[in-house]
Every structure is written in C-alpha cells, then in structure tokens.
Amino acid sequence: MDTSYPREERPPPKRGPPPAAPAPRDHLVWAIFNTLYMNFCCLGFVALAFAVKARDRKVSGDVEAARHFSSKARCYNALATAGSVVLPLLLGALIVTGVIHLSKLAQESVGFFTYQFSGSDDDDQ
C-alpha cells in the first residue's frame, strides 16, 4: 500500500439541531383577491378568515396550527377560484347551446307555419 501522497482529512460533520421546516404559507393575498372578486357562496371570505388565522398562528409561533389553517385556506381558495372560473364558463356554454337549439327550432317551425299559395291547385278545376 502506497502512502506517499498526503491524505485529505475531512473534519467530522457538525451535529446540531435539525434544520427547521419552512414556515407554512398563509395564502393571504390569494384570499384577498378571491374575496374582492365575486365568487360562488362567498368562499373567498371563508378563505380570507382561515388565511388570517394562519398568519396569526404563524406570528405567535404555533406552527402546527398555522399549517392546519393554511391548508384550509388553500382548499377554500382553490374552490373559490375554480368556482369563479368554471361557473361562468358553464353558464356561457349553456347560453350558446340554448341559442343554437332555439335557432334550429325556429328554422324548422318556419316551414311548418308557412302557407304556400300556388296556382297549381287541382281541387279548383
């Protein structure tokens, strides 16, 4: 075994407290936008209440409660955003299909309700 070169000695890893988990997000800005935009069943306001609770718990140092309220705020924000996007699209689709159906119905009924006057009636002769 050749030991002519110097070996690199690594210092032992330092043991300390484990790295702290990042603080949970409170989703407050998202909740404010959802509250200001009119959404289905005031879900934005509920999300805002949970976001404020999450921020209060985070400031007071209760990370577990902050994580719980943050999760609820994210859920209500997602529901409010989905409702704000999906419901107008659904309403627009219903209006478009209704207009198409009514126009086809009107075109078919025009032929039914028109009376044709023609000179080639065999009953008059």
**Is residue 29 in some structural domain?**
no
**Is residue 90 in some structural domain?**
yes
pLDDT tens digit sequence for 10-32: 666 667 555 677 888 889 999 99
Give rounded-to-5 percent helix, strand, coil for the chain.
65, 0, 35
Query: CA 59, CA 105: separation in Å to the nearest integer?
Result: 63
**Is residue 5 in some structural domain?**
no
Mean of pLDDT over the chain = 83
Residue % of the chain over a pLDDT of 70:
74
**Is residue 113 in some structural domain?**
yes
Q: In this structure, are residues 27 and 73 in contact, taking their beta carbons and an 8 Å threshold?
A: yes
Residues with Cβ within 8 Å of 72's Cβ and at least 6 positions away in sequence, in order, are 50, 54
Query: CA 113, CA 33: separation in Å to the nearest integer?
Result: 53
Domain count, the chain: 1
Of 25, 26, 46, the residue nearest 34 (C-alpha) = 46
**Is residue 22 in some structural domain?**
no
Quote the tokens at residue 45: 């306001």
pLDDT of residue 21: 76
Residue 107 has pLDDT above 70, yes or no: yes
pLDDT tens digit sequence for 61-85: 999 999 999 999 999 999 999 988 8
Query: CA 74, CA 44: separation in Å to the nearest integer?
Result: 10
Domain limits at 91? 86-124
DSSP 8-state class, residue 61: T
